[in-house]
Structures are given as C-alpha cells and as structure tokens.
Structure 1
Amino acid sequence: MSFLDEIDEEFGRAGLDRAVALGDTGPIVDWLLTTFSFQGISDRVARDYIERHGTASWSDINASFRRRPSCPKLRSYWHFDHCRYDKTSVTCSEPDHIDACPLPRPHLRNGRLNQTAYSLFLFVRDLADCDLVGWIDRQLETARAAPGTTIEAARQEALVGPLRHVYGVSDKILMMTLSTLLIGARNQRPIWFETGKAMIAVDTLVHNFLHRTGILGTCGTPHTYGAACYAPGGCAEIIRTLADRIDVRTLSRAFPQKFPRFVQNAVWRFCAGDGLNLCNGNRIDDRQACDIGYCYLYQKCGREPLNSRKTTAKSVVYSDI
C-alpha cells in the first residue's frame, strides 16, 4: 500500500514534479538515464558504481554536441545506428573518429549504457524537439484505439513504440520507467496517470512466478522470458486480466479501481529478495517442485518446476488469488 508513496518520494527527490510542471526536459532525461543504468545487474552494484563515477546527463551531452563531433553516427538520431562502442576494447564502428568522440566520455558501467545515453539524447533532440513533456502530451492526446484494443493500450504504444528504437532499452525498462513518470505526475496530468497505471513491467521474477504457479500454462501461452511476455497470451495480458478482477480500492482509497501496475508490483514484491522473498531461484530448486510449505499459496499453487513442463499439482486459478 506504500506503492504510490514510494513513487511520489522518488518523483520529488529527482525533481520530476517541478520538471513536468515547467516542461523542463533535462531533469527527466537525467532521471531516465540513471534508471536505465540499473539494467542487467543488482541495484546495489549499480548504485555503488553510480556513486563512484556518476551518470550521463542531458547538459553534458548537449554541451558535447556544441563542439560538433566529427563522427557521422552523431549527425542525428537516424544516423545513430550500429555505433558498437565497446568500453573494454575502446573500439567502435568508426575508429577514425573515436579519439575525438564524446560518446565514451561519460564513465558508465559499460559501453552499451554510453550508446543508450546518446541514443536517448538524439531521440529527444530530433524527434521531441527537446521538449519531452510536450512530446508525451501530444502522443497521448492523439492516440486512437484500433478495433479490438483499448485506449490505454493505444496510449502505451504511442509512447513505448517510438522509444523502443532507442538503443539498449527493452519494453520492460520502458514500462517500468514510464509508469513511474506518468503515475508520479497524476496530480498535474490525469491522462498521464490513466496511461501509467495500466503499464505492466514483466521481469524474470514475475514471469517465473506465473510459470511456477501454473498460471502461465493454464491461462496463457507458455513461453520463455522475453518479448513473448508482452504478446497475446503472455504474462502482461494475464496480469491485466487478473487486475480487471481486483478492486484495489479496498486496500487504499488513493488507488483507482483497476490498477494493473500495482498488481504486477505486488507479484514482484511477493518474489523479490527485498520483498517477501518467497518465489525466486534463491529459495527454490527449480529442478523440482517448490517445497516452501509455509508459503501463502502452497496449497493452491501448481508448484511447477521452472525447468520442467510437467505440472505436479493443481494450478492456481484467478479466483484463488
């Protein structure tokens, strides 16, 4: 029930409330780049690295372009393709320009993050005209639902679709960061909240929970973790269907009736080491059925081994949760 409070705290700490109100792009991009730095590694390791070396910033990258970098990849967002900068070997696809190139200057954890930083900057500069708040407003206001889809899905795709082509960002990280941004701005822009509350970020913990419980095999389309989690019958669709059956106003009056992002986060907290620490690979030997007998769902759970397709007990159904 602290979900909104935590978002509000992060929103205020990063200065996003003021940035959205004033249409100030810099703090929002800085926050996005910091959040992207937590991909593929533990939060503690990422946080320690950032504390020692800092992150890329809108102002620093913008200043580097005033010096007119010679690399042809940096001419525009559309030119920035297959940069291939590698921090360890200090190589890229344009070796004649690397000595003067500003892209390697931010001391980030790996070269992929440097490419992400410059790709995002060029996206905001060239596609959003340096006005990220205005771009989000326009994308949401002009989105139209196609037959058989919802307006929330259309608005999500209006944001995630273009940003999906920024180098190094996945649907998961986009859903996670954008939902925080959009939910945090709910008092200023209600349409942002309506979009953000429906965004679902599926990570391996959420995917594996749906597999182990048998929900994925019973109510969706079995698949490995990845893009299929957002396809029809995937993890996101299952959670969205589940959220339609839960009135979360019984938990907090501050919540809307349907809150898919909160339901997804609740599943994540059930599994995560920083949460209830129950359904995860550190607690379960995935070569066999889970044996955590004191788990809240033990009697209802399918307890399907993650590395086996065989179901050992009855699967959880929506009405049981």
Structure 2
Amino acid sequence: MQYVKRAQIDPTAFAVALIESVCAVSVDPDFAASVDGTSSNDPRLIAALRANSTAGLFDWMMDSFSFQGISDSVAHSYLESNGNATWQTIKSQLAGQPTCPLLPSYWTFEGCRYDKTGKSCSQPGHMARCPVPSHPLRNGRLNQTAFSLYLFIRDQTRSDLIGWIDARLEETGDRDFRAGQEALIGPMRHIFGVSDKVLSMTLSAVLMADRGNRPRWFDVGSQMIVVDTLVHNFLRRTGILAEFDAAHVYGPKCYQHGGCSDILRRVAECIDARAFNGSFPRIFPRLIQHALWRYCAADELDVCNANNIDESKYCIQNTCEIYSICRRNNDFSVKPKAKTQESKYRLKYWFC
C-alpha cells in the first residue's frame, strides 16, 4: 500500500477551525456573570459572596465537590435525597472536642482513611464518637473532604475564605493570571480529595459569579481551564494533539507545557468570545473549554464521547458539526481495509 503524506498545516489554525465550529453550537451564552452582575450561577453562591458568608461558600463548594467522579444527574439526585455536610454542623461537632487525634487542626487531619462501605478508619478506637462518619455523603472520601476543607478554612483563612481570596489575589497584583490561579490553588491542593482539576472547576465558578463587584476575581476565574477526560479525548480523537505533536495520556501532562490546557489557551486567543455574548471578555479560555465539555458530555449535547464512538473504528457520526474536517481517531490501531471513496478520503488524513 502506498502511504499518502498529508499536507502540512498550521496546528493552531486546524484547532481553531474545529473548536470554533463546536463552540457555535455548544457555547452557553449565560455561562458566567455579565458586566451588570446578572448570572446563571447558583443563586446560593451569589448570595454567599455578597453577604461575605464563609459558611454559605463552604456549603456551596461541598456541593460542587460532590459532583466529581459521577454524572451530574446522579450526584444531584443523591444530594436532593441525602443532603450534604454543612459549615454549621461541622462547627458544632468540632466544638464538642471529639477524641480523635486527627481532628484538632488542619495540620493533624491526615491519614483518616474513613471507609463508608467498610465502616472503618485509621483510628478505630475513636470511631464510635467521631463526627466524620455522621454525614450521609455518597462515599467516605467526601466525608474526609468535608472535614479537611472545613479545617483548612478555619485554620488557614481564619474562617474568612472570601477575605483570604481577596488578599491572595491582591498579593499577585496584575501579573500573569497564572500567578493568581496558583496563589489560590497552591495552598488548597493539599485539602483531602480534591485535585487541581476539581479545584479549578470550583474556584473558577466562585471567581466568576459576581463579576460586577469583583472584576479582578472574574479576570482570574475566566482564565482557568478544567481538563477532564471528555475534553482530553476530544483533543486526541479529533487529531488536535497529534497536529501539535503533543500526544499524551490523560493526567498531569494535560496541564504541563504544551499539553491540553496550553493548546486550549492558544486557541482561545484566536476566538472572540464576544461573538457569543457581547458582555464576555474577548479572550475567555474557561468558556471555550466548557463548550467542548458540553459538546461531549452525555448530560449535555452528547456528541463526541466513548458512548457514541467506537475507538477501534472510524467515527461514523456524519451529523457532527466537525465531521468533514475531524481527523477522526487518527491514532487508533485498526487500519482501513476497503478502498471506497470514503476510505480514500480518510487515508489522506491517516498517514503522516
């Protein structure tokens, strides 16, 4: 078989063509607060920020953390039925000075290992009187996250998370947005059970919720990018990673130099977000990444995901917005056999 060499193209131009087409159908025009302060965000979050309520912000963040690792519909249903850990409840429980040696402070709360299914932990002699298992959360990791987050806010921010965010961002001034992002995520990444991805997702929503009153917050939050498996696999499946010579497995490399987040930032600089909503900033990486997620997520547009695409075969979703220009699995191992007109078309994109 004679291999066909595909013509060299500009990787950024290729990525922009694909992603801008996706954004045309998947961008949520009400994704973030507008200049006048209106927003589609949870009114509980906005109320907590405007009241400077650390308790309200903690409660909202725990709900956000509860959506990781499971579909939004299942997580929402569980919270509706069982509730969540709250600031006031944990505050009251810890005021009773439980005997577990891990609970006195944020710095001592390490190695809890509470397992809801096995009804076990690292301090079994104290478990009967421990408040950690008392919350009917979806799994034991979330129970640990609730107490770790509470202790972080109490001990590291002096129970003033909103003031702490203000101070951290003020220290970074108007420097690169990455400095502001790291000023917040850096200290918080040691909270039990939350990854950089989860922190970025939650903090970006917090920072963008009250744009009218906190423009600096919005500027930092709008630049945060959340790379989950859906977004990573979209970039891989469509051939974008290959065009940038940036093939990698999902994980930390997504956030490293030249990874998924860097590529999305480069693309976002070429897409004027004001075309989707005049109140958006011109460069809005979080919006572009969110649009890709919506395009792929089963609970949203449900187009480009493993439920619909067999990774061992060519994609046959010819109703997809980018079907005609997508590389469509150019990294899977099964080579085309039939020399149909369609396979000839695909061959020119297959061989490099």
User: Is the 2:59–2:87 contact (alpha carbons within 8 Å) kept by the matching residues of 1?
Assistant: yes
Runs of 4+ in 1 over 4 A off after TM superposition: 305-313
1:255 has 2:283 as partner:
no
Over the matched positions of the two proteins, sequence identity in percent amounts to: 48
Structure 2 Cα separation of the partners of residues 301 and 114 of structure 1: 43
3-state secondary structure, aligned to 2:102: helix
Structure 1 Cα separation of the partners of residues 170 and 276 of structure 2: 31
User: Is the 2:33–2:211 contact (alpha carbons within 8 Å) kept by the matching residues of 1?
Assistant: no
1:143 has 2:172 as partner:
yes
Structure 2 Cα separation of the partners of residues 162 and 313 of structure 1: 48
Q: 1:307 to 1:161 in 2, by over 3 A?
A: farther
1:1-321 equivalent positions in 2, closer than 5 A: 1-4=29-32, 8-12=39-43, 14=44, 16-143=45-172, 151-219=176-244, 221-304=246-329, 308=333, 314=349
Deviation at 1:162, TM superposition (A): 1.1
User: Is the 2:225–2:261 contact (alpha carbons within 8 Å) kept by the matching residues of 1?
Assistant: yes
User: Is the 1:303–1:313 contact (alpha carbons within 8 Å) kept by the matching residues of 2?
Assistant: no
Deviation at 1:308, TM superposition (A): 4.5
Q: 1:220 to 1:42 in 2, by over 3 A?
A: same
Deviation at 1:9, TM superposition (A): 3.0
User: Is the 2:121–2:127 contact (alpha carbons within 8 Å) kept by the matching residues of 1?
Assistant: yes
RMSD over equivalenced CA pairs, Å = 2.0
Deviations 1:207-260 (A, max 9, x none): 000000111122252211122211111111111110011111122111001000
3-state secondary structure, aligned to 1:175: helix
Structure 2 Cα separation of the partners of residues 152 and 4 of structure 1: 18
Larger Rg: 2
Q: 1:306 to 1:2 in 2, by over 3 A?
A: farther
Structure 1 Cα separation of the partners of residues 99 and 89 of structure 2: 17
Deviation at 1:45, TM superposition (A): 1.5
Deviation at 1:134, TM superposition (A): 0.4
Q: 1:312 to 1:230 in 2, by over 3 A?
A: farther
Q: 1:226 to 1:309 in 2, by over 3 A?
A: farther
Count of equivalent residues:
309
Q: 1:218 to 1:83 in 2, by over 3 A?
A: same
Structure 2 Cα separation of the partners of residues 129 and 306 of structure 1: 50
User: Is the 1:206–1:271 contact (alpha carbons within 8 Å) kept by the matching residues of 2?
Assistant: yes
User: Is the 2:33–2:210 contact (alpha carbons within 8 Å) kept by the matching residues of 1?
Assistant: no
Aligned to 1:318: none
Deviation at 1:41, TM superposition (A): 1.1
Deviations 1:142-175 (A, max 9, x none): 1268xxxx62011001111111110001111111
Deviations 1:54-105 (A, max 9, x none): 1000000000011001111111111111110001111111111111110110
Q: 1:28 to 1:60 in 2, by over 3 A?
A: same
Letter in 2 for 1:34: D
Aligned to 2:7: none
Unaligned runs of 5+ in 2: 1-28, 336-345
Structure 2 Cα separation of the partners of residues 309 and 186 of structure 1: 49
Structure 2 Cα separation of the partners of residues 4 and 74 of structure 1: 37
Relative contact order (C-alpha < 8 Å, sep 6+): which is higher? 2
Structure 2 Cα separation of the partners of residues 103 and 282 of structure 1: 37
User: Is the 1:286–1:305 contact (alpha carbons within 8 Å) kept by the matching residues of 2?
Assistant: no
Q: 1:218 to 1:105 in 2, by over 3 A?
A: same
Letter in 1 for 2:66: S
Deviations 1:250-305 (A, max 9, x none): 22111001000000011112212233321111110011221212222112111126
Structure 1 stretch displaced more, 2-11 or 130-139? 2-11
Structure 1 stretch displaced more, 97-106 or 287-296? 287-296
Deviation at 1:5, TM superposition (A): 6.4
Q: 1:216 to 1:27 in 2, by over 3 A?
A: same
Task: Give the TM-score taking structure 1 as reference length.
Answer: 0.91
